[in-house]
Amino acid sequence: MIRISDKSLCCGCTACATACPAQCIVMRRDREGFDYPVANPDLCIGCGKCEKVCPMLNPPAASAPVEVLAARSGEHLAGSSSGGVFPELAKSVIEDGGVVFGAVFESDHKVAHAEASELSGIEPMRGSKYAQSDLYSAFEDVNQYLTDGKKVLFTGTPCQVAGLNNYLGSNTEGLMTVDFACHGVPSPGLWEKYVKALEARSGGRIRSLSFRDKSRSWRHYCFRHDDVSVEYVDDPYMALFVQDMSLRPSCYKCPFRAGRKASDLTLADLWSVAEAAPAFNDDRGASAVFVNTAKGKALVHSVSMQSVAVSSEAAMRDNGGYSDPAAVPERREEFFKGVHSASDLIAYMKGFVVRRPLHQRIYRKVRRFLSDIKKRIVR
């Protein structure tokens, strides 16, 4: 029976709760805003399935990628966080009669997994979502579609993909999975509080959100809500995410790094684009695609997009989410202890952001100003 005594050993993937035949496990949110499984010992039948499907207890073995590509889709580039690869993959599966699962913003901007069997359903799945998603019944739904002979594309965090694979067991013939170079997952509870704080400060309901608005720059993307847009380092939620303050405890001991992938494909930003794929170096975004399986290779080469082979070393450069887990920030425990009692959450969060030196801040502002002028001249 699953007993979470060390929270760093649970990634919250829900595989254990979904696999339990006695339905004795429920997911409950803790004070940091993360969901954990809680088992009722009176209902447990001792079958051990919860431990068998747990990806933290049974992580995938490390292996080198089959190949690595620099890739981008001209059709989907503008609305995507990096190179627009995911929409091309999803389009291919849907046009073949399949179903796509991915993270979306719900009406209250909570992040959750949804499914799409039509092309219009792909749009909400595009773009990064920097909060752990609620999977609802996604694992069960994927299993049912596969049992019915449907093709399924599931995209999620590395731990979600590993949990899904463990839950499905051998029922994966029609399944294709995509994860990404994951920096870590921030608290969904914190994100939901932050949205309410933004709405209270602006005096109205937020209509649209983007964690990775790149209309000004891909490299120096902005956090945008409605008409308000600030560079990601100047938004406290994004700054604390980048500085590892708001991550799930398991992210600091993540076993899904350095090639330990359960997915067919891993997507990442190609930050080394100037060296690895200079033809894509126009600050509009480029993706690194780590092809982990033969199934992934067949899928990625079946879609219409620009791509060129690159070295693993170049693709991994500046992609810490691919190789090493984050380190626990010194003030993390202090930060989460005060979140609930903060009278002004946004001001409270700003107090924990590590400010860059003044000369670096000036340099960034000047560089951004010159970039804006250059784009106006080009237009």
Confidence of residue 243 (pLDDT cuts 50, 70, 90): very high
Query: What confidence category does residue 323 fall into, taking pLDDT thresholds of 50, 70 and 90?
Result: confident
307 in the same domain as 232: yes
Query: Could you list the residue range(s) of the whole structural domain that residue 15 is in?
Result: 7-53
Q: What is the mean pLDDT of residues 25-53?
A: 97
Q: What is the mean pLDDT of residues 341-346?
A: 97
Query: What pLDDT does 365 receive?
Result: 55
Phi, psi dihedrals of residue 104, rounded to the nearest 5°? -135, 165
User: Is there a single domain that holds both residue 78 and residue 44?
Assistant: no
* pTM of the predicted protein model: 0.93
Q: Is 285 contained in some domain?
A: yes
In-domain check, residue 1: no
Domain presence at residue 2: no
Which range is least confidently modeled, 21-25, 168-172, 187-191, 256-260?
Answer: 256-260
- What proportion of the chain, given as a percentage, has pLDDT over 90? 90
Instruction: Evaluate whether residue 153 is within a structural domain.
Output: yes
d(CA 73, CA 95): 17
Question: 116 in a domain, yes or no?
Answer: yes
Q: Grade residue 316 by pLDDT with cuts at 50, 70 and 90.
A: very high
Phi, psi of 6 (to 5 degrees): -120, 110
What was the pLDDT predicted at 379?
Answer: 45
Distance (Å, whole) CA 317 – CA 97: 37
For the chain, helix (H) and strand (E) counts, in that order, are: 14, 13
How many angstroms separate the Cα of 74 from the Cα of each of 78, 85, 192, 315? 8, 10, 33, 20
Do 218 and 69 share a structural domain? yes
Check pLDDT > 60 for residue 100.
Answer: yes
Q: Residue 378's pLDDT is what? A: 45
How confident is the model at residue 373, as a pLDDT? 56
Same domain, residue pair 145 and 240: yes
Percent of the chain with pLDDT over 70: 94
Are 176 and 94 members of one domain?
yes
Q: Is residue 330 part of a domain?
A: yes
Residue 268, pLDDT > 90, answer: yes
CA distance 346 to 237: 8
**CA torsion sign, 239 to 242 to 243 to 247?**
positive
- Helix (H) or strand (E) holding 191, with range, is helix 188-202
143: which 2 tokens?
């299993």
- Average pLDDT, stretch 142-159? 98
Angle at CA of residue 198, ends 194 and 204, nearest 5°: 135
* Measured distance CA(160)–CA(132) in Å, rounded: 10
Tens digits of per-residue pLDDT, 165-220?
A: 999 999 999 999 999 999 999 999 999 999 999 999 999 999 999 999 999 999 99
Going by pLDDT thresholds of 50, 70 and 90, the confidence category of residue 353 is very high
* DSSP line for 331-370: THHHHHHHHTT-SSHHHHHHTT--PPPHHHHHHHHHHHHH
Confidence label for 372 from pLDDT (cuts 50, 70 and 90): low
Q: Do 33 and 159 share a domain, yes or no?
A: no
- SS3 call for 86: helix
Q: What is the CATH number of the domain that holds 31?
A: 3.30.70
Query: Where residue 298 falls among pLDDT bands split at 50, 70, 90?
Result: very high
Mean pLDDT of 83-92: 98
